[in-house]
Amino acid sequence: MAITAQTSAYSRLGEVVVTDWKAASLLKPSTVKPILTTIQKSLIIRTLGRFSERDLQALQDALRTLIG
């Protein structure tokens, strides 16, 4: 899923606002967009941070809504 700092006043189906964005080492308040994609593992340079349990649960709920 895509993470962006371009947040809107109205959330769309499948979007998740990252509540604990500072703890996740994000630079700005961010939203996870429902854009599913894959990436080759060798293209990952480093891990920036980790979502809190609260944000992970919100992301899991959104995925369940999107894909059933």
pLDDT tens over the chain, length 68 residues: 788 898 777 778 889 999 999 999 999 999 999 888 888 999 999 887 899 999 999 999 999 988 87
Number of compact structural domains in the chain: 1
Contact yes or no for 46/18 (Cβ under 8 A): no
Task: Provide the domain limits for residue 28.
Answer: 2-67
Q: What is the pLDDT of residue 37?
A: 84
Cα of 18 vs its chain's centroid, Å: 7
Residue 23, CB-side half-sphere exposure with 13 Å CA sphere: 10
pTM: 0.77
Confidence at residue 59, expressed as pLDDT on a 0 to 100 scale: 92
Q: How many CB atoms lie within 10 A of CB 60?
A: 11
Strand order in the sheet with 2-4: 2-4, 31-33, 16-17
Question: Is 46 strand, coil or helix?
Answer: coil
